[in-house]
Amino acid sequence: MTRRPTRSPIVLAAALLTLLPASLQAVQEEPEVRVIVDNPRPAADDVVRLTFSFTGPGVGGSLHAPASLPLKNLVVVGGPNTSTQISFYNGQLSRQASLTYFLQPSGPGPAEIGETTFKVGDKDVKAGAYLLEVGTARRPPGAGPGNAPASEDPFGRTAPRPGPRRAGAERDFPAEDPILVFVATPSKEASFVGEEVTILYELVTQAEVQGIEYVEAPQFPGLWAEDLERSERPQGRRDTLDGRPVARFTLLKKAVSGLTPGSVTIPPAKIRIGVRAAMDPFGDPFAMLRPRVLERETKALTLKILPIPGRPDFKGPVGQFGVTASVDRKSVPAGEAVTLKVRLAGSGNLRTATEAPHLSIPGVKVYPPSSRTLPARGSARGGASAEWDFVVVPSEPGSLVIPPISLEVFDTAEKKLVVKRSAPITLVVETAAPLAVAAGGTAAAAPAQTDTGSEASTTLPGAPPTPTPLPSARELAQRTIAIPLWALLAVPGVLVAAGGAAWAFRRRAHALGPVSALLVAEPGETKERAVARVERAIREHLARRTGASETTPVSALLDELADRGVPPALREELRQLLSQTDFLRFAPQLGDYADEISRLREKARSVLGRVRGAGRA
The continuous run of DSSP H or E covering 120 comes out as strand 116-120
Mean pLDDT across the stretch 574-579? 86
C-alpha to C-alpha distance for 99 and 19, rounded to whole angstroms: 35
Render pLDDT for 583-607 as a digit per residue (tens, 0 to 9). Answer: 777 666 556 778 888 888 888 888 8
What lies within 8 Å, CB to CB, of 485 at 6+ separation is none
- pLDDT, residue 584, reads 78
C-alpha to C-alpha distance for 203 and 271, rounded to whole angstroms: 9
The continuous run of DSSP H or E covering 44 comes out as none
Ramachandran region of residue 156, left (φ > 0), alpha (ψ -120 to 50) or beta?
A: left
- pLDDT, residue 312, reads 85
- pLDDT, residue 423, reads 94
What lies within 8 Å, CB to CB, of 235 at 6+ separation is 249
C-alpha to C-alpha distance for 100 and 42, rounded to whole angstroms: 17
Domain ranges of the chain: 28-134, 180-306, 318-430, 494-609
Could you tell me the pLDDT band of residue 25, with boundaries at 50, 70 and 90? very low
Lowest-confidence segment of 140-154, 211-225, 343-357 by average pLDDT: 140-154
Torsion angle defined by CA atoms of residues 342, 346, 352 and 356, in that order, rounded to the nearest 10 degrees: -10
pLDDT > 80? residue 113: yes
Torsion angle defined by CA atoms of residues 151, 156, 162 and 167, in that order, rounded to the nearest 10 degrees: -160
HSE-up of 617 (CA within 13 Å, CB side)? 3
Lowest-confidence segment of 3-17, 290-304, 452-466, 543-557 by average pLDDT: 452-466
Give ∠ CA 8-13-19 in degrees, rounded to 5.
Answer: 125
Lowest-confidence segment of 313-317, 369-373, 443-447 by average pLDDT: 443-447
Could you tell me the pLDDT band of residue 467, with boundaries at 50, 70 and 90? low
C-alpha to C-alpha distance for 282 and 280, rounded to whole angstroms: 5
β-strand pairing of 270-276 with 364-376: unpaired
Rg (CA), the chain: 42
From residue 242, alpha-carbon distances to 157, 204, 300, 303, 611 in Å are 22, 12, 22, 26, 77
Render pLDDT for 39-78 as a digit per residue (tens, 0 to 9). Answer: 888 888 888 889 888 887 666 556 778 888 999 999 888 7
pLDDT > 80? residue 140: no
DSSP state for residue 317 in the 8-state scheme:
-
Secondary structure class of 552 (helix, strand, coil): coil
Lowest-confidence segment of 102-106, 190-194, 249-253 by average pLDDT: 102-106
- pLDDT, residue 184, reads 95
C-alpha to C-alpha distance for 589 and 604, rounded to whole angstroms: 23
C-alpha to C-alpha distance for 178 and 194, rounded to whole angstroms: 40
Topology classification of domain 318-430: Immunoglobulin-like (2.60.40)
β-strand pairing of 196-205 with 180-186: antiparallel
Can you state the angle between helices 568-585 and 594-609, rounded to 10 degrees? 160
Mean pLDDT across the stretch 178-194? 91
Of the two residues 448 and 93, the one the predictor is more confident about is 93
Mean pLDDT over each residue of the chain, to the nearest integer: 75
With a pLDDT cut of 90, the percent of the chain lying above it is: 17
DSSP state for residue 43 in the 8-state scheme:
B
Render pLDDT for 116-139 as a digit per residue (tens, 0 to 9). Answer: 888 877 788 888 889 888 988 876
28-134 and 180-306: same fold? Answer: yes
What residues does 96 pair with on adjacent strands? 55, 85
Could you tell me the pLDDT band of residue 453, with boundaries at 50, 70 and 90? very low
- pLDDT, residue 306, reads 93
Contact 595, 530 (CB under 8 A): no
Question: Under CATH, to which class is 180-306 assigned?
Answer: mainly beta
What lies within 8 Å, CB to CB, of 597 at 6+ separation is 521, 527, 530, 531, 534, 584
Could you tell me the pLDDT band of residue 251, with boundaries at 50, 70 and 90? very high
Could you tell me the pLDDT band of residue 342, with boundaries at 50, 70 and 90? very high
- pLDDT, residue 347, reads 87
Of the two residues 570 and 376, the one the predictor is more confident about is 570
The CATH classification number of 28-134 equals 2.60.40
- pLDDT, residue 607, reads 87
Could you tell me the pLDDT band of residue 111, with boundaries at 50, 70 and 90? very high
Mean pLDDT across the stretch 128-156? 60
